[in-house]
């Protein structure tokens, strides 16, 4: 549907109706980041599977729609809109979500994209739009507003500096900031953090272990259970369901090993966990989202032979009854240190811990105590749907 025209060509927007449209929607980022050497195009087949309700159980639990904007034949932006029943059941706030927002510095295109998503959300009874969540708080969340000088880590968004202005001009305001921390995996912790850890880890009943790969599904279930309890009172939290946990387990199994997970125990009870993932963006960079015909060889060589040099820690948590206690601090530090030591043995040099809520000073302080430094900020926006 054509809706406007200027010197750059007619502006139009089309809904995603089939697999071909979805491939085009995924490929919009090739155009948006054409001049950005830091951009890493995700693997098309992985994104297709992730957004496929037949394969991803989360997609069966939401209503979603996607659109691509064009100037003439050229794609210039995209957006998605979601109604998450789990969110509505938990918060009863008539809030819908938008996600997957990408756009050239084209205010008219940005307006067309957001207004299209807003109309769809209003028709579903939503009174507020929050995002970007792509497609949920447990996937890629936020819009990069600080830290454009480095490539994105695996399962984290990138962005263009103009996005913040485009959204603010359309009535979107900051709802919450998410902070990513960088750390040098090869450098021992600063003296204060190391001294604190040495004191705390000697507490009776505390032990740490890696994942038992022979019980892989049960262990992933345990990790998600700890996460669901640890994060239950955090802003925007939505728990992992059992089907989602097992989808996650299957998705990451080809790229993980036992020592990429740590479980902390207190008197034999698992009460803390952390997970690290190899930064696959290192391995797929330059492949333009394609593994065929020759991408597979490059990907496998980079991953298995050369080895990636960075990792991301997407999950870490301590059960709520131990938060704000000495034992809880010991467990949090311990699971981080256990995976760090293992990662260094694998040749990892650096990493990212992401993300942390801007108003979680307890965890921010703990991370900074052991040498993490805030280096990227991702913003969640909100807008009333009047």
Higher pLDDT residue, 248 or 81? 81
DSSP 135: S
Q: Is the pLDDT of residue 103 over 70?
A: yes
Q: Where are the beta strands (DSSP E) in 160-292?
A: 173-184, 206-209, 261-266, 269-278
Q: Whose structure tokens read 């950005």?
A: 36
pLDDT tens digits along 119-148:
999 999 999 999 999 999 999 999 999 999
Instruction: For residues 318-327, give the mean pLDDT.
Output: 94
User: What is the β-pairing status of strands 74-84 and 62-71?
Assistant: antiparallel
**pTM of the model as a whole:** 0.93
Q: Measured in whole angstroms, how far is the alpha carbon of residue 185 from the centre of its chain?
A: 21
CATH class for the domain made up of 182-377? alpha beta
Q: CA 228 to CA 225: how far, in whole Å?
A: 5
pLDDT of 172 > 60? The answer is yes
Burial class (CB in 10 A: 0-12, 13-18, 19+), 17: exposed
Give phi and psi for 69, each to the nearest 5. -100, 145
- Do 2-178 and 182-377 share a fold? yes
DSSP 47-98: HHHHT-TTT-HHHHSEEEEEEEEEETTEEEEEEEEEEEHHHHHHH-S-EEEE
> Quick one: pLDDT at residue 240?
92
Superfamily for the 2-178 domain: Gcn5-related N-acetyltransferase (GNAT) (3.40.630.30)
Bridge partner list, 310: 350
In tens, the pLDDT along 193-233 reads 788 888 877 889 999 999 999 999 999 999 999 999 999 99
The domain spans of the chain are 2-178, 182-377
pLDDT at residue 289 tops 60: yes
């Amino acid at each position: 549907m054509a809706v406007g025209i200027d010197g750059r060509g007619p502006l139009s927007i089309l809904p995603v109706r089939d697999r071909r449209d979805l491939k085009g929607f995924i490929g919009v980022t090739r155009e948006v980041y054409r001049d950005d050497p830091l951009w890493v195009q995700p693997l098309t087949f992985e994104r297709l599977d992730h957004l496929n309700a037949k394969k991803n159980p989360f997609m069966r639990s939401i209503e979603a729609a996607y659109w691509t904007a064009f100037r003439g034949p050229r794609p210039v932006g995209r957006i998605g809109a979601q109604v998450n029943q789990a969110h509505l059941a938990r918060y009863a706030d008539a809030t819908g979500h938008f996600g997957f927002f990408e756009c050239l510095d084209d205010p008219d295109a940005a307006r067309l994209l957001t207004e299209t998503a807003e109309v769809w959300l209003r028709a579903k009874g939503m009174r507020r739009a929050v995002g970007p969540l792509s497609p949920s708080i447990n996937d890629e969340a936020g819009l990069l507003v600080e830290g454009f000088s480095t490539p994105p880590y695996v399962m984290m968004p990138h962005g263009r500096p103009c996005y913040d202005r485009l959204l603010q001009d359309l009535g979107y305001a900051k709802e919450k900031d998410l902070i990513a921390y960088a750390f040098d995996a090869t450098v021992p912790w600063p003296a204060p953090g190391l001294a604190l850890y040495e004191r705390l880890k000697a507490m009776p009943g505390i032990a740490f272990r890696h994942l038992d790969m022979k019980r892989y599904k049960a262990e992933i279930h345990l990790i998600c259970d700890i996460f669901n309890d640890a994060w239950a009172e955090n802003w925007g939290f939505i728990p992992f369901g059992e089907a989602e946990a097992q989808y996650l387990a299957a998705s990451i199994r080809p790229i993980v090993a036992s020592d990429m997970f740590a479980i902390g125990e207190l008197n034999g009870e698992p009460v803390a966990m952390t997970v690290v993932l190899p930064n696959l963006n290192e391995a797929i960079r330059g492949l333009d989202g394609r593994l065929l015909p020759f991408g597979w060889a490059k990907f496998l060589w980079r991953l298995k032979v050369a080895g990636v040099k960075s990792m991301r820690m997407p999950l870490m948590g301590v059960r709520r009854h131990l938060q704000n206690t000495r034992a809880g601090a010991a467990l949090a530090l311990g699971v981080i240190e256990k995976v760090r030591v293992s990662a260094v043995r694998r040749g990892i040099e650096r990493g990212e811990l992401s993300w942390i809520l801007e108003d979680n000073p307890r965890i921010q302080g703990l991370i900074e105590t052991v040498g993490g430094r805030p280096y990227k900020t991702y913003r969640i926006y909100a807008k009333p749907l009047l």
